[in-house]
Amino acid sequence: MIKNASIAGTSLTEKLCHHLEVIYAGLEQVENHAELAEQLLAIMRIDSATCPSVAHDNATSLWTEKDLIMITYGDTIQQDNEAPLKTLNRFMHQYLKPHINSVHILPFFPYSSDDGFSVIDYSSVNESLGNWQDIEAIASEFDLMSDLVINHCSARSAWFENFTKAEGVGHDYFYTAPPDQDTSQVVRPRTSELLKEVNTRQGTQHVWCTFSHDQVDFDFRNPNVLKAFVEIIRQYLDHGVKTFRLDAVAFLWKQAGSSCINLEQTHEVIRLLRSLIEQARADAIIITETNIPNHENLTYFGNGNEAHAIYNFSLPPLLLNSLITGNCVHLKRWMMGMPPAQRGTTYFNFIASHDGIGLRPAEGLLTDQEIGNLVNTMQQFGGKVSWRTGVNGEQKPYEINVALFDALQGTDKGPDKYGIDRFICAHTIMLGMEGIPGIYIHSLLATSNDYEKVENTNQNRSINRHRWSYIQLVEALEQPHSQHHKVLNKMLDLIEIRTQQSAFDPNATQFTLHLGDSLFGYWRQSVDRSQSIFCVSNMTLDTQSVHLADMNIIQTDTWQDIISRELIEQSVTNIELQPYQTVWITNKVV
């Protein structure tokens, strides 16, 4: 706990009061902001008298080039007669440590649907996965990211049951609206009816459901909801959680006549939670999960006082589009337009996840025709498409559901022999970029589309949520010619190289290189300027020539491609890149 860094003239209680005044402005639910602030501090076990408000020095980041997060469900790997969390821990120690130092375990709580994101009980671990001791065991060896499913919970939760009874904890936690309310401006990622009719002891209520009728939205106008989530945060901290992923947080605040997304109260709730979390654990991190257009997503940095990190949601569709078309013009233009994250904030880069490849973040970056080409190509490779309802009621593709390994099996001309090369190329690009990399476990394992699970669940997203038998997985990884063995070993090699380069610090300088539309490149320079790395990838099926002069490489220095470990002689002027080959050319020879 930080004792001596305070905002001049502002106590911690005063800081919280400011947040609360913005959140509850014009509402009668909170009459005494100072009293509520002290209640929140008590829940977090923070003594405002002895612990002044933290003013973090943004020159000091909470991450380095050694940080990389693996994303996984708690039961992705299963072994008979063993709790899946124990099996996961064993797998990570056997195959991933010390290459990967952090893990995001997707919701590990009791749930009723959406593979964990419809939480029944926030305070316990799903018995089918293990217990809090298993979570703590993982947190003692790896930095742990946990979801804070803050927008909604399960319609089967005790809180919602109390809502129907009109009594007990939770009876007033949920957002309702009259059925005749104009909701035409509401932005949401689903096509189901927004309001769910529910019979309660107080009569029929219409409950707001942004995502599904099993996921009922909270009403944060009620300060008791805020206090409940602060209690949850405190519990997670006690069990070793370091990073909080605020799931679907953009939809948190609702207001009649508005879009009900990205509202100012939502941003202020995030600022308040950050004030509390960083006070309780100085190295804790908040990541906002906001699958929205890029310019909206960037606002969740705030003024360096909201999310420490935001998901780079535009990267997956743009990178995938570049690799299937062989043209990186949109990816390059997007990178050029991305502002450097200020010190104390960073991007969270990923190209595959438990969900799909979101298409809303490509809006304004790809044309409708290009998105259509991408969707059609992925369908040819066995992918599925999830849809959303637009503002005017039209159906638009929301995300592509496909295993990334299968998504990159070919181009828009069809499958080819370069699937693994293209797959590795995609990850090499992501690993070198400004920000913290996140790698989905099924990308590490080169898992293919799971059609059987889709059929069993009738959910498109299940296609990329395969469950491995531990014994079968080990057998697959030990087969030298299997896609699983080849990909995991190559990925771990790249990760090992990455974590040794100061120029790959998440906040190291980044500039986009102009090498035409077939070569995608960027330059990274370490914070202390001791190392430069030129990262160049061939995005096509053809051999491409890289002119060193185009990158302003000074030939009086000694340069090396640290991926191939080959030195670049001073007499060399061009480098030939094979299809989907990447070079990381550095002046700091290893």
Distance CA 118, CA 153 (A): 5
Contact 154, 160 (CB under 8 A): yes
Phi, psi of 372 (to 5 degrees): -60, -40
Residue 19 in marked binding region: no
Both structure tokens of 563: 């991926």
Contact 405, 419 (CB under 8 A): yes
Contact 306, 271 (CB under 8 A): yes
Phi, psi of 334 (to 5 degrees): -65, -45
Helices (H), 186-313: 223-238, 264-280, 294-297
Q: Which DSSP symbol is given to 300? A: G
Q: CA 79, 84, 90, 96: dihedral to nearest 10 degrees?
A: 110
Phi, psi of 511 (to 5 degrees): -130, 140
Residue 354 in marked binding region: yes
Q: Which of 247, 406, 505, 561 is catalytic?
A: 247
Contact 287, 311 (CB under 8 A): yes
Distance CA 306, CA 265 (A): 12
Residue 114 in marked binding region: yes
If one counts every other C-beta atom within 10 angstroms of the C-beta of residue 440, the result is 22
450 a catalytic residue: no
Distance CA 422, CA 32 (A): 58
Contacts with 518 (C-beta within 8 Å, 6 or more apart), sequence order: 326, 327, 328, 538, 539, 540, 542, 544
Residue 246 in marked binding region: yes
Sign of CA dihedral 371, 376, 380, 384: positive
Distance CA 311, CA 345 (A): 12
Residue 143 in marked binding region: no
Q: Cis bond leading into 506, ω under 30°?
A: no
Residue 355 in marked binding region: yes
Distance CA 215, CA 485 (A): 39
DSSP secondary structure string, 530-576?
S-EEEEEEE-SSS-EEEEGGGGT--TTS-EEETTTTEEE-TT--EEE
Residue 245 in marked binding region: yes
Contact 416, 540 (CB under 8 A): no
Contact 547, 541 (CB under 8 A): no
Output the known binding site.
114, 152, 245-247, 354-355, 461
Q: Which residues are known catalytic residues?
A: 247
Q: Which residue numbers belong to the known binding site for substrate?
A: 114, 152, 245-247, 354-355, 461
